[in-house]
Structure 1
Amino acid sequence: MAEFIRIYEENPNQREIDKAVKVLKRGGLIIYPTDTVYGLGCDITNIKALDRVARIKGVKLEKANFSFVCHDLSNLSDYVKQIDNTVFKILKRALPGPYTFILPGSKSLPNPFKRRKTVGIRVPNNNIALDIVKTLGNPIISTSIRDDDEVLEYTTDPELILEKWDNLVDLVIDGGYGGNEPSTVIDLSDSDPLVVREGKGSLDIF
């Protein structure tokens, strides 16, 4: 049975944030709000937890397209190869915000992702998500719980999310109603920006 806690996005209660971080540190999975759709996440350094997320999503961990949710751009150098000024300016303009940026992966990626040439980076404009990552001290991996075949409320209403995910995760955070439009995905790993998926983030950041 998953624990269910309410956190207010305008002013997240640190005690509740600490509860979520405790779950992550012991290898648990959480469902949490972002600035787009609710996400399923775990500590990026915990291989068992990463495996659980991959199993739930029905993908091989090495091939999974999970995003790394960072608190700000200061974590970037741990996971991303040196980026040029133009790319950095785009990131600065767009983040925090409803974007996933695909960037060239560095050699120090966590083990399961070592062979990846690229990595998806997310800095959501949501205080709950950002406070969790900041308190944890490293990124969480994240994947959307949105499903085109699902009844909309099962991915936007926290109580229905709990009902559906109760036996699969350890904690569901109620951060209010979620959205149903995913992040805009932009590939910046090559010389020209490439829009992979148009979502909530506007394209006038270039």
Structure 2
Amino acid sequence: MARYFDVHPTDPQPRTIGQVVDLLRGDALIAYPTDSSYALGCRMEYHDGADRIRTIRGLGDRHHFTLVCSDFAQLGQLVKLDNNAFRAIKAVTPGPYTFILPATAEVPRRLAHPKKKTVGVRIPDSRVAQAILRGLGEPLLSSTLILPGATEPMTDGWTIKEELDHVLDAVVDGGDAGTVPTTVVDWSEGYPEVVRTGAGDPTRFE
């Protein structure tokens, strides 16, 4: 049964966030709000986490996971950035964008794309997500909470708790997180290619 945490969306309670962080450190899989939608998240080093996310979402092994970071310094340790990518990505973060880039050695091989050796990274503009990330002190392995057969992410914390109670360890309800996933930009070949148009303005990368 998943634990349920009701968190203020703009002023998240430190004690509650601390409880969520403790669960994550014990290898929990959580649902939490971001600046674009609700997402599934766990520690990057939690070996079963990726498989649990794939099972819930009905994903194959070539799905690009996202490493959700608290700041640009953390992001820069996980992916290889040239000067153009550095400037362009820094200009829109934090925000509702996911960038696919070559992974560094800091990223476990099992989390990178098996052929391309790439991974998605992003920095959310969400006070709840940021509070969790700062408390944890490391990135979250994450994926948008879209169930198999659905076209939009789940939007209500209590509904997530009711539907996924048996497969999650915790639900962090931070109110309405929206229904539009991030805009995804693939920069793995040295230039930007918008592969999914979402909440972030794609025109600056087109």
Equivalence for 1:103: 101
Residue matched to 1:55:
55
Deviations 1:72-118 (A, max 9, x none): 1111233112x222111111111100000111111231241365521
For 1:112, the aligned partner's letter is: R
RMSD: 2.0
Listed as ranges, the matches of 1:14-163 within 5 Å are 14-59=14-59, 63-81=62-80, 83-113=81-111, 115=114, 117-147=117-147, 149-150=149-150, 155-163=154-162
CA distance in 2, matches of 1:187, 1:70: 17
- Which position in structure 2 is the counterpart of 1:170? 169
> Which structure 2 segments of 5+ residues have no match?
none
Contact 1:33 1:174 in 2 (8 A): yes
Paired amino acid for 2:174: G
Asked whether the equivalents of residues 93 and 205 of structure 1 are also in contact (C-alpha less than 8 Å), the reply is no
Distance in 2 between the 1:70 and 1:164 partners?
27
CA distance in 1, matches of 2:154, 2:125: 19
Normalised to the residue count of structure 1, the TM-score between the two structures is: 0.90
Contact 2:21 2:136 in 1 (8 A): yes
Contact conserved, 2:67 with 2:142, CA < 8 A, in 1? Answer: yes
Among the aligned pairs, what percent are the same residue? Answer: 38
Q: How many residues are treated as equivalent by the alignment? A: 203
Residue 184 (structure 1) aligns with: 183
Higher helix share: 1
